[in-house]
Amino acid sequence: MPLLARTVNTPLAIEVRRGAVAELGALLADRRISGGGDVAVVIGPGQGEKIAELVRPGLGRADLFTVSGGTLDSALDLGNKLRQRSYDAVVGIGGGKTIDTAKYAASRYAIPMVTVATSLANDGIASPVASLDHDGGRGSYGVHIPIAVVVDLDFVENGPDRQTQAGIGDALSNINAVADWELAHQVRGEPIDGLSVALARTSAVALLNHPGSIADDGFLTTLAEALIMGGLAMSICGSSRPASGSCHEISHAIDLLLPCTASHGEQVGLGALFCTFLRGDTAGFTYLRAALIRHGLAIVPADLGISDDDFVNVVAHAPATRPDRYTILEHLAMEKDEIRARLADYVDAVGDRH
């Protein structure tokens, strides 16, 4: 992942509520976003047509663009279209792929970006990173953070449960990422940003301790806030450190060695639990295990259809996915036989799902 531009800028507005898409016109009336309504509204497939029907009456002078695929080529094509007119802002409405496509195109031509999220699958809602497919792989590109972030709970509620579950895994993994950052600070003297740590960890802990479920608006609001705060934490420190540690190294290795296994959030949730066990954090392991089980997420490799042998290979390869990063995996520097033994101990410690 490229070095991100350090900034202390924060969005003009952060709203998590129902009906946000239908009231988009009110948001765009904020003259800090657009003085005369010259905005480009970007929607994706799936719920795109319904969204278009809701927002078109309030668009005024805005133009509507439809994108698909979540690829670098799609983002570049959108950027070329944005060049044809002077826009005050780009409004990306939809899930992660649509938001990332809009973020990249807007950043490429220095146009302010507004996120209107209709799913909570990952922390891309407000992060300074766009993940886009290119040449058979997925690249991460540094972008500007949105100037406003709105989450519409009506669309989140109507979307696939598995997307929201993935978002839970992604947000909770920040606890492990911060622990890895603190380890690197203690062992190697790596600089650490206290504000970034506070944003990433406290919002994730709030989610960890929330008694609700994805059927509860209060829980969904806490999840949205955790994902948004994770993105802002990255922007503040100019690095993905507060939201990406050994858990993400494991997920990257799964993507490379076992493509299309599961969603990013499911993989990092499992990675975070395994690495918390490796760290010897008994209390943290207990709380995280309970949260993953409560929300129907994976706690052992078999839950994702991964054999023990394959998971050993994944963990062995994981540090190579981020050679510049120091985490519990680099700290322990385990060979495959030791990984296999620790995995057996981990599976025993996890037990069943009760």
Instruction: Tell me 71's DSSP state.
Output: B
Chain segment 238-260, per-residue pLDDT in tens:
999 999 999 999 999 999 999 99
Which of 133-137, 183-187, 225-229 has the lowest average pLDDT?
133-137
Count other Cβ atoms within 10 Å, centred on residue 227.
31
Chain segment 108-122, per-residue pLDDT in tens:
999 999 998 989 999
pLDDT in the model for residue 5: 44
Rg from Cα positions in the chain: 20
Query: CA-to-CA distance for 220 and 329, rounded, in angstroms?
Result: 32
User: How far are the Cα atoms of 13, 20, 23, 42, 55 from residue 59, in angstroms, in the given order?
Assistant: 19, 14, 10, 12, 6
Whether 130 has a pLDDT exceeding 80, the answer reads yes
Q: Where are the alpha helices (DSSP H) in 4-152?
A: 24-28, 48-55, 72-82, 96-108
Chain segment 293-348, per-residue pLDDT in tens:
999 999 999 999 999 999 999 999 999 999 999 999 999 999 999 999 999 999 99
- In sequence order, the β-bridge partners of residue 39 are 89
Query: CA-to-CA distance for 343 and 180, rounded, in angstroms?
Result: 19
Confidence of residue 22 (pLDDT cuts 50, 70, 90): confident
pLDDT in the model for residue 3: 44
Query: CA-to-CA distance for 319 and 330, rounded, in angstroms?
Result: 6
Confidence of residue 37 (pLDDT cuts 50, 70, 90): confident
